[in-house]
Structure 1
């Protein structure tokens, strides 16, 4: 017992070591890590449970439809990320009124954008024949009804998750992760109950996976904006047109970058469903989600880092940025070593996870390509997050106009000319990630420039 007590004492000492920014960062990491472990476990349980409740083909349809609608999240024209930086800057300067104006203005604009988006897509959905797209035959309008449910969920989510942006900007990602996890947990429990009582239905599965997490976020908004975040609660009086320009200056650049990310990282399900089958979508996603455990867990460590960088950059604390980045590079390397072990044991783990029948359709080449992609992504995501926190987006913005074209071209060539199937997706993702390869060089150039400037200033002071 005394040894365990000593361990907790050492952990507590470590968490309280350093300046306020470092202490907040470490405490956020610990809380996010615990919550994310639970979230990963839930998401891993969710896949076989959903497949068993319906089937692999219908689950592939759900994944494809939800991915398509997920693109709607980027119709916010980068406002969420613009708010994240501007809120963090206002908080660092102690300007509560300015922070409230940013929140209120963003909430208002997002409500207009996603209200209009919902109306447009609800009308368009009446004229789409999803059976033709998926090369299947499901009686009635079940797929159109499912699409309507998903559209409604994502539009409302993108409005109410402004709270998530505020929590991230305030270096409290643990709360944001907690509400995401809570929504997943309740959905998992309800699906398990449905498996015992109700016959499998794609529509019922969609309703559960959409509206249960949404209810959690609505309740969270009520408690936070009426409680500890009352000072930042959205209000009509605090809407300020002048703040729109501030947010959009960053937001539009983030928007272009996000569109590029959608094309490069969110179209895989769509491409596979179109060129191959819904079953292949499921196979691809099983491999992706297996290795994505690494990326998801690493994201835990990155969640508070973005806004901490904004705070440090605003206060010109470059030494903190440099020292903390070095620690993150070590963490990314450790994660990649874990990924290599995951690759070795993948066939056994996946067979145990989803069953022999589905695991038999997944080959080793797909596993290797996915690991390489995720391993590279860990490093590139780190440096992209640093530049995002600094608000240095010009190079990302330019490359975002080029990389999607390269991705689409490589994907088409490898599918159509070389017949490499789903391998083509990962090859294209790796080759087109130009921004990810350049971001580290941008960061180290900034650090070197600051080091030279500091040395020059020190010489001038001595003279």
Structure 2
């Protein structure tokens, strides 16, 4: 496999060590992500048959609801990623150790409080009303929600290891873990369908516990081998490291909340304004059209931390060449999106048969959304990589404030129906197609001032 990668690199004219490392991890990411996509696609019809449309809609909404709480990491994951990469680029091992320990203990303390409060609240809430579903699920949801909250808290801590791997230029590790979780979950759910009756509780418990187990094992392995010297220790936790991570992390924190509001509230809005069953076609269209974004992200992910290191070392020519290539990939991804729209009816028929009907208009709207995100993504990753994210933060924050009321307005006062939810998101992110490229040009040409340089 190594010889094949070297041959591909030679044929493509890839020469620099950084570019070779990126292309290697893009190759592995492609394999892992392809496997994850296949596993997740097989899982959808299997799950619908096991749970039925309403229960599957409840699970999708529940998953989105839990995703809202990712803001509890207050941006420290992204902050750690940038600061650890900078410290390693400058051979500052003490700071690198301090950033890791400070991030782990800070997130650990936050998660303990989060889990305690969520468990306290969970037993005093009627989740059937929250998810607009039948009272028959009351008992299952009452048992499931504490497990989901506890696992989410643990996952928030253990996921930090993927930030460390990525910052250390091991870009495909996140894809590898996602692949293991996707395939493992598929196998476990398949076994569940053979040994158990339909149960939202059993399904949700498996989906919550399995990823935590895999990430826990990765943490044990990483801090016993490659990152042994960076193993979290209380004595390495210092205020200046927290300030450094949190200073950058706070902006990422605001961006995370904004992204959650714009992208993770859709299922909840649809559930409340329509029903859990209406969430299913929406998510099927999202999963299908999202393939384009997933493929492009495989190429993008390695560049974040590589751009961080290149910017620290003032290797601007490499950054410019990298961005030119990423823009070309973005255009190819948009062409792929157009093709996917044209063949969508045939793919849906093969994939889910007659289980769910996905309107053509919904597919087109979803394609438009992904085309926009793909086109501004290269500039977004550059901005994230160098940490000049104030303007980025304001753009997403304004979009988040507008998104929910605009979604409700388009659904209630127009004839758009469910499509109005994704159209509202499209309207909120559209300005980024202008703002992000402008900021990149100003920064790379050293003409950025004011908010453009913060």
The verdict on a shared fold, with TM-score over 0.5 as the criterion, is yes
Q: 1:337 to 1:322 in 2, by over 3 A?
A: same
Runs of 4 or more consecutive aligned structure 1 residues displaced over 4 Å after TM superposition: 4-9
**Distance in 2, Cα, partners of 1:418 & 1:335:** 31
Partner Cα separation in structure 1 for residue 200 and residue 5 of structure 2: 47
Q: Is the 8 A contact 1:313 1:390 kept in 2?
A: yes
| Aligned match of 2:69 | 72
Tell me the CA shift for residue 422 of structure 1: 1.1
Which residue among 121, 132, 138 is the counterpart of 2:129? 132
What is aligned with 1:365?
361
1:33 Cα offset (Å): 0.9
Question: Match for residue 288 of structure 2?
Answer: 290
**Unaligned residue ranges in structure 1 (runs of 5+):** 452-463
TM-score, normalised to structure 1, is: 0.93
From 298, 317, 320, the equivalent of 1:319 is 317
Contact 2:122 2:145 in 1 (8 A): yes
Give distance in 1, aligned partners of 2:2 and 2:315: 35
Aligned counterparts, 1:7-406, within 5 A: 10-13=7-10, 17-133=14-130, 134-359=132-357, 362-406=358-402
Q: Give the RMSD, CA atoms, in angstroms.
A: 1.9
Distance apart, 1:169 and its partner CA: 1.0
In 1, the alpha carbon distance for the partners of 2:423 and 2:335 equals 21
2:124 counterpart SS class: coil
Aligned partners of 2:98 and 2:241 also within 8 Å: yes
Cα displacement (A) at 1:445: 2.0
2:451 aligned partner? none
Aligned positions, number: 446
Deviations 1:380-421 (A, max 9, x none): 222111101010011112223311122223212211211421
Aligned to 1:454: none
In the alignment, the residues of structure 1 paired with residue 331 and residue 411 of structure 2 have an alpha-carbon distance, to the nearest angstrom, of 32
Task: Say if 1:66 and 1:150, in contact at 8 Å, map to a contact too.
Answer: no
Quote the offset at 1:323 in angstroms: 0.6
Matched residue SS, 1:226:
coil
- Residue matched to 1:457: none
Q: Tell me how far 1:338 sits from its aligned partner.
A: 1.3
Q: Distance in 1 between matches of 2:347 and 2:197?
A: 29
Question: Deviation of residue 446 (structure 1)?
Answer: 2.0
Report deviation, 1:140. 4.4
Task: Give the distance between the partners of 1:310 and 1:41, measured in 2 at CA.
Answer: 32
Q: For structure 2, list consecutive stretches of 5 or more residues without a partner in the other structure.
A: 449-454
Could you tell me how far 1:281 is from its partner in structure 2? 0.6
Check conservation: 2:86, 2:308, Cα contact below 8 A: yes
Query: Does structure 1 conserve the Cα–Cα contact (< 8 Å) formed by 2:79 and 2:245?
Result: yes
Q: Structure 2 CA distance, aligned partners of 1:207 and 1:41?
A: 22
The 8 Å contact of residues 105 and 238 in structure 1, kept in 2 or not, is answered as: yes
